[in-house]
Structure 1
Amino acid sequence: MRNRTVLLAALLAGASFSAYAQDNLEKLSKFQTTGVATFTTVDQGGKKAEAIQAILQKIKLPEGFKISLYAIVPDARHIAVGPQGIVTFVGTRKTKVWAVTDRDKDRVADEVKDFAPSIGFTIPNGPCFSPDGILYLVERNRVLSFPAAEFFYESPDVAAFNVVKQGELIPTEEESYNHTARVCRVGPDGKLYIALGQPFNVPPPEKSDLYREQGIGGIIRLGQDGTGREVYTYGIRNSVGIDFNPANGELWFTDNQVDGMGDDIPPGELNRQTAAGQHFGFPWYGGGSVRTNEYKDSDPPPDTVMPVVETSAHAADLGMTFYTGRQFPEKYRGGIFLAQHGSWNRTEPVGARVMFAPVNPDGSAGTAEVFAEGWLAESGEYLGRPVDVAQLRDGSILVSDDLVGALYRISYGD
């Protein structure tokens, strides 16, 4: 009886918090106060910082580059650097979004605190900015916008609005604990692009019509006000990294391959999309040209687009970004940095590193190469797990790590 009472109390508390958080969102959208007056702040010094700095001594980089601790950020996932260079927002797979500020511009964060603490977030993994400073945040089943986020973040109360209401990004019956770390980008057409991973290793055929209609296992695009939703990309298993080539506006994205097929197949993917509606092969292909066992007896779409770069099997390619800065040598300009989170489905681990893939003027890509490594020890122990890469305004890059809970800064010649 006591266990049932405790469970009922917990369920009621959860429902109460959900209603409270929704009420707060409505207040914020009307520029009203919520009564929340405090932040959660993260200490940036002490033994934690010392331990991380010791790990960074093991990281190998090309000559002339160096890596340093930029900020301690618990559960750090995807990164959105503010257009004004004031604050960097970092999502998580839990319930927090972090605001990271380097106030004295010494390239080390002075302050890390939670963003919009009165809002109840659910897997707020995917922040991204519009060029005019609107922060978008994609959760498991909701999309929020925060105009002037770089200004309002100083207060617990922020201007916040629904773009896609809770329960309307995907059907609520399709909500899952798996492959629900969303990412987003605002494209050169001014529309919001969102990757929607499907929850299965390989989905059953009876899900295909619903998933195609909803864009689950694909990328959708919609207006920044939430209108005009359409499926832009088909045939993806779980993309957790998208970006647009600034040279021609084409969409590129990583995709995680099927598990359980052996150590060395199928390969990871970096894909290039040249037109709306293209299909990238999943679930007929588990990665690259490797067919899945579940769909080997049915014909794949005849217009399937194969990846432009194949990477190590099960290295878990996640966040990626085109490098547009001037700080790094010419070799890296216009190319792609991508984070490999590291394998779980392999007898000998691989990944836990940052890769670089050159992109040619004609839009094709060269061979991916290791750029930063050392988070995977020779013993097979993970000393860190890179998730995302983002560029600071000075041309250096940030790398997030959700195992250690940190942002690292990689710079050249400073």
Structure 2
Amino acid sequence: MSIIRRGQRSAVLLASTMLAGAMMIAAPAQAQQSTDNLEKLSNFQSTGASMEMETVPQTGPRVDAFNKTLSGIKLPDGFKISLYAIVPDAREMAVGPTTGVVFVGTRKAKVWAVTDRDKDRVADEVKVFAPSIQFKLPHGVCFSKDGFLFVAEQNRVLLFPAAEFFYEGPDVAAFNVVKQGELIPPNEESFNHTARVCRIGPDDKLYITLGNPFNVFAPEKFDLYKKNGIGGIVRFDRDGKNREVYAWGIRNSVGMDFNPKDKTLWFTDNQVDGMGDDIPPGELNRATKAGQNFGFPYFGGGSVRTAEYKDQTPPADAVKPEVEMPAHAADLGMTFYTGQQFPQKYRGGIFSVQHGSWNRTTPVGARVMFTPVKEDGTAGKPEVFAEGWLTPNGEYLGRPASVAQLNDGSLLVSDDTSGAIYRISYGN
């Protein structure tokens, strides 16, 4: 074993101190530069960012590896699955209503733009989006019907009014909708449950999910979280004004969408961990009006009470889930199917994904589910639509994270573990 002499130790300590100091100086400097760049982009000014933007190769041995995995995915008769794009850390997806460019959020620091230039339903280019902006967990991406792209980060919301037409260069018009540190109180920022999801509702308002940072939060957090909508869904005007808590009593929703027929808001919810292999169930919920309570933290999922709140009386009007899913399958992204490509059975129904369990003796999930919606607007019985990413010996070959509908009516499935987007189509 080598021994550091006293002089050497002093030098090492000095170097470490200098490095730590440099890092402390660099972090605020980077944040300031990002703020300056956002201000420039808001004023349609150049940031001086390099035109050499990062791209992700779409050829090579990884393609063969993905195709091997996809050959083992089971689908209903007439459907097929293929690799659409290699996209690192792919999570939520927003499809440009005019161009079909797919913007992909991550739980890292990048948003990707995925382009299929020749419209052969395979991406030709995957490129970093708005590289001069320093994103922090830009998971939530969503388009308005008139083509405005919103990006919901951990504690900020940005707007890109013409993203699908000006994403090719490093500079694109960008504006604050909710400034940094104003989506949730900064003291409540956490590394846990930070993945936001956004949607523009039929009322033309912006909806955002806010997961609570804990497995089950302590009673002293109750009033603060309820007031701010942490553990719920908040709603804003599109300019960020008139914030309100639309729904609460939600542990951690990482998927939501509106039913275009009756305008109700549906969302998945990840339930309490550590209660056992088979409880509590995962949830698919339906909000029919503003102000509803969905039972957390009194309930860990479904009708299963949490140990922390078992002696407290839950709200009498707590809304039960529309669908109870297998425990700990980790239900994430979802979308209503509005296309014409799939058979009639699937039209108007819900596609959702199960990311796969991490705290269960025998893993479940890593699949795409389909839930029909009845004429009265309630849910039918869910069924497995696509599976095969979880092997019989419990190994994950991929973990579906979200779904989105491509403009031709096919279904995109993101996989953050493998770093890819797949396309499921029907017929030829």
TM band (smaller chain): over 0.9
Deviation >6 Å, runs of 4+ = none
The two structures have a TM-score, normalised by structure 1, of 0.99
> Following the alignment from structure 2 to structure 1, what is the Cα–Cα distance between the partners of residues 134 and 157?
13
- Aligned partner of 1:13 among 23, 26, 30: 26
SS at match of 2:351: strand
Q: Which residue of 2 aligns with 1:31?
A: 44
Amino acid at match of 1:110: D
> Following the alignment from structure 2 to structure 1, what is the Cα–Cα distance between the partners of residues 136 and 265?
27
Q: 8 Å contact 2:100–2:407 — kept in the other structure?
A: no
Amino acid at match of 2:266: W
Q: Which residue of 1 aligns with 2:5?
A: none
Is 1:355 equivalent to 2:369 in the alignment?
A: yes
| 1:4-403 aligned within 5 A | 4-37=17-50, 38-403=52-417
> Following the alignment from structure 1 to structure 2, what is the Cα–Cα distance between the partners of residues 8 and 287?
46
Q: Which runs of 5+ in 1 are unaligned?
A: none
> Following the alignment from structure 1 to structure 2, what is the Cα–Cα distance between the partners of residues 321 and 360?
16
SS at match of 1:162: strand
SS at match of 1:22: helix
Shift of 1:14: 1.5
SS at match of 1:231: strand
Shift of 1:85: 3.2
Q: 8 Å contact 2:209–2:254 — kept in the other structure?
A: yes
Sequence identity percentage: 70
Amino acid at match of 1:307: P
Q: 8 Å contact 1:129–1:136 — kept in the other structure?
A: yes
Q: 8 Å contact 2:328–2:359 — kept in the other structure?
A: yes
Q: 8 Å contact 1:198–1:238 — kept in the other structure?
A: yes
Shift of 1:238: 0.2
Amino acid at match of 1:315: A
Amino acid at match of 1:24: N
> Following the alignment from structure 2 to structure 1, what is the Cα–Cα distance between the partners of residues 63 and 27?
34
> Following the alignment from structure 1 to structure 2, what is the Cα–Cα distance between the partners of residues 392 and 85?
11
Shift of 1:20: 0.6
Q: 8 Å contact 1:319–1:339 — kept in the other structure?
A: yes
1:248-289 deviation per Cα after TM superposition (whole angstroms, max 9, x unaligned):
100000000000000000000000011100000000000000
Amino acid at match of 1:131: K
SS at match of 1:40: coil
How many residues are paired up?
A: 414
> Following the alignment from structure 2 to structure 1, what is the Cα–Cα distance between the partners of residues 165 and 312?
53
Q: 8 Å contact 1:85–1:392 — kept in the other structure?
A: no
> Following the alignment from structure 1 to structure 2, what is the Cα–Cα distance between the partners of residues 302 and 57?
49
Amino acid at match of 1:16: A
Shift of 1:11: 2.0
> Following the alignment from structure 2 to structure 1, what is the Cα–Cα distance between the partners of residues 271 and 19?
41
> Following the alignment from structure 2 to structure 1, what is the Cα–Cα distance between the partners of residues 24 and 83?
40
Amino acid at match of 2:383: E
Q: Which structure: larger Rg?
A: 2
Shift of 1:86: 3.2
> Following the alignment from structure 1 to structure 2, what is the Cα–Cα distance between the partners of residues 334 and 85?
24
Amino acid at match of 1:11: M
1:140-181 deviation per Cα after TM superposition (whole angstroms, max 9, x unaligned):
000000001111101110000000000000000000000000
Q: 8 Å contact 1:143–1:165 — kept in the other structure?
A: yes
> Following the alignment from structure 1 to structure 2, what is the Cα–Cα distance between the partners of residues 166 and 91?
18
> Following the alignment from structure 2 to structure 1, what is the Cα–Cα distance between the partners of residues 92 and 106?
7
SS at match of 2:191: coil
Q: 8 Å contact 2:201–2:207 — kept in the other structure?
A: yes
Amino acid at match of 2:34: A
SS at match of 1:15: helix
> Following the alignment from structure 2 to structure 1, what is the Cα–Cα distance between the partners of residues 345 and 17?
63
> Following the alignment from structure 1 to structure 2, what is the Cα–Cα distance between the partners of residues 39 and 114?
7
1:306-354 deviation per Cα after TM superposition (whole angstroms, max 9, x unaligned):
0000001000000000000010001000000001000001011000000
SS at match of 1:14: helix
